[in-house]
A = this chain, B = another copy of it.
Amino acid sequence: AEPLLLIAGPCVLQTYELSMQIADVLCRINDRDDVNVVFKASFDKANRTSLTARRGPGIDEGLKMLDRIGEKSGLPKTTDLHLPDQADAVAQVCDLLQIPAFLARQTDLIVAAAQTGRPLNVKKGQFMSPGDMKYVVEKARGSFAESPHANPASSAPNPEAAGRKGGVMLCERGTFFGYGRLVNDMQSLPLMRALGVPVVFDATHSVQQPGGLGGATGGNREMVEPLARAAVAMSTDALFFETHPDPDTSPSDGANMIPLDRFEATIDRLLKLRQTVSSL
């Protein structure tokens, strides 16, 4: 079986020290043969519910911090971008570019990101069907082709999972179900995989409860591991988690995060499950 791609980190960049505390745990996990870890943190939470919510250090400081974390830890890095003109700077530092779900239909963003030659992890819009992600894949692939120096495979953090199939991964992160609750249509994993791309399951944002905290998004941490197990059982290529030594102090998504001191044991269980799934 191919190694699992594990995308993980603290949601938004806070201090370098905090990031390295998390990266240390991720490095230990990365020592295993059956997993490839990518460090993820956002430099800007660009779509917070309210104006006064904390957003992050911004692109300049954030990319510097990501670069330093990567150098120190040896881990590949990913972050999410929000505007087409951020693509080049992000691609200088990051090995994998993440497109937020709300922005999955913004053509220029997909094109700019793809033209960097870096592989993309596009989150399925909460307002899109799995099948309609086909056109997102085509937007990315059409743009890779236009870039003379594009070689998606070479820069993929996990060539088995992302690069070989063209540099695009699609991520299930929950679908809008009424107001205030997401559901994961787990059929989206095999349906999006049938589009010829590796699939990611975002176990953190899938348990969001939009509007659940008044001017902020709530969540239900207890559901993270059960849903991640389901995704592994359905042969997901990659998993996405946010983790934090003290989730309740995280500027965002704290309610959905796995506490750092439980993270490695969680991954152990998921990899054990994956081993069985691969043997079926």
A171 to chain B, nearest CB (A): 16
Please give, as numbers and ranges, the residues of chain B lying within 8 Å of A229 by CB-CB distance.
230, 233-234, 277
Complex Cα gap A72–B49 (Å) = 41
- Chain B CB within 10 Å, residue with most, of A127, A189, A190, A272: A127
In the complex, identify which listed stretch (A11-19, A137-145, A149-157, A250-258) lies at the interface while the others stay far away: A137-145
Each complex incorporates copies of this chain amounting to 4
- Chain B CB within 10 Å, residue with most, of A138, A211, A232, A276: A276
Please tell me if A74 contacts chain B, counting CB pairs below 8 Å.
no
Contact with B along A264-280 (1 / 0, CB 8 A): 00000100110111011
Q: Is the CB of B184 within 8 A of A181?
A: no
Please tell me if A196 contacts chain B, counting CB pairs below 8 Å.
no
In A116-170, the 8 Å CB interface with B consists of 125-129, 131-132, 135, 138-139, 142-143
Q: Is the CB of B127 within 8 A of A51?
A: no
Q: Is the CB of A131 within 8 A of B211?
A: yes
20 A-B residue pairings within 8 Å (CB atoms):
A47-B107, A52-B142, A82-B106, A126-B176, A127-B176, A132-B210, A177-B183, A179-B181, A180-B180, A184-B185, A184-B186, A186-B186, A187-B207, A187-B223, A187-B227, A190-B222, A229-B234, A272-B276, A273-B276, A273-B277
